[in-house]
Amino acid sequence: MQEIVLDPAETGSVPPVEVRVLGDFEGPLERVDLRLQATAGGELVELAVTDGAPRSVPLGTHHFRWSQRLKLASRPSGEWSPWRTVGRSHQLSRS
């Protein structure tokens, strides 16, 4: 995981979280499902990622939690991982 810290005082607002999954989507990995939520509560955001393109998720905070599950070809989706908490970050990269 790589974290990039941006100070909202410098940017004028809290930037969205950039999410990128680094995986072999040409192989058995079909999809990675992600859940993100501000640690102070708020709307749960779910993403279904099928390529390595970055996605912006406007959570309105730089403190959030996330969980993932994998979907392999010809198999049902796996179980959700335990929640992981990230503080003072605007980027989430998974490989």
Q: For the domain that residue 55 is a member of, what is the CATH number?
A: 2.60.40
Per-residue pLDDT tens over the stretch 4-26: 555 555 556 788 888 999 888 99
Pick 87 or 78 by higher pLDDT. Answer: 78
Q: Is 43 helix (H, G, I), strand (E, B) or coil?
A: coil
The CA distance from 82 to 50, in Å, is 21
Task: Give the other-Cβ count within 10 Å of 91's Cβ.
Answer: 19
Pick 48 or 93 by higher pLDDT. Answer: 48
Residue 29, domain extent: 8-94
Q: Are 55 and 66 in contact (CB under 8 A)?
A: no
In the predicted model, is pLDDT for residue 36 greater than 60? yes
In one-letter notation, the amino acid at residue 45 is V
Q: Is residue 83 part of a domain?
A: yes
In the predicted model, is pLDDT for residue 43 greater than 80? yes
φ, ψ for residue 33 (rounded to 5)?
-95, 135
Q: Is residue 77 part of a domain?
A: yes
Question: What number is the average pLDDT over the span 62-82?
Answer: 94
Q: Is residue 2 part of a domain?
A: no
Q: How many domains does the chain have?
A: 1
